[in-house]
């Protein structure tokens, strides 16, 4: 099953301009308590042991919309393998900032950061290590 985290209000090109200090993403990332609304809350994760959660790295952490997704769902007793894309940074403090959005008995695993030139087979090989 593949699920896209869908913002209730789609991001525009202007929203994603991280060089603009008044852009939506810059404002969201400046406020660590920001929780942008999503359309796909309350997933049925029964029968799922491992979840692969992918996102871009923004300002050395996951976008706050990822926190919205984690907080909207029950990841108790789940293993959450993180993977991300980045133009040059690593995970930074991603795990630290996401940990508060899941229950204590959920396991967050810092997986891998991929560049924009990653081939599908590289992602598949990465995922095989956690299955």
Q: Which residue, chain included where needed, has tokens 């309350």?
A: 42
Mean pLDDT over residues 56-75, rounded? 94
Q: What is the pTM of this model?
A: 0.91
Cα–Cα dist 18/108, whole Å: 27
- In the chain, what are the domains? 47-128 (3.40.50.360)
Asked if the model's pLDDT at residue 1 lies above 90, the reply is no
- Percentage of the chain beyond pLDDT 90 is 81
C-alpha distances (whole Å) from 121 to each of 3, 118, 125, 131 are 20, 8, 6, 15
Mean pLDDT of 6-30: 93
Residue 118 has pLDDT above 90, yes or no: no
The reported pLDDT for the residue numbered 42 is 85
What does the mean pLDDT of the chain come to?
93
- The alpha carbon torsion through 32, 35, 41, 44 (nearest 10 deg) reads 10
């Amino acid at each position: 099953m593949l699920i896209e985290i869908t913002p209730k209000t789609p991001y525009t090109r202007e929203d994603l301009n991280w060089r603009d200090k008044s852009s939506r993403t810059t404002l969201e990332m400046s406020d660590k308590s920001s929780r942008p609304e999503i359309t796909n809350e309350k997933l049925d994760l029964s029968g799922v042991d491992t979840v692969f959660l992918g996102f871009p790295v923004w300002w050395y952490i996951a976008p706050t919309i990822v926190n919205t997704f984690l907080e909207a769902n029950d990841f108790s007793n789940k293993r959450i393998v993180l993977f991300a894309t980045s133009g040059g940074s690593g995970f930074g403090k991603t795990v630290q900032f996401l940990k508060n959005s899941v229950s204590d008995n959920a396991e967050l695993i810092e997986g891998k950061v991929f560049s924009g030139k990653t081939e599908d087979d590289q992602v598949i090989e990465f995922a095989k290590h956690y299955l």
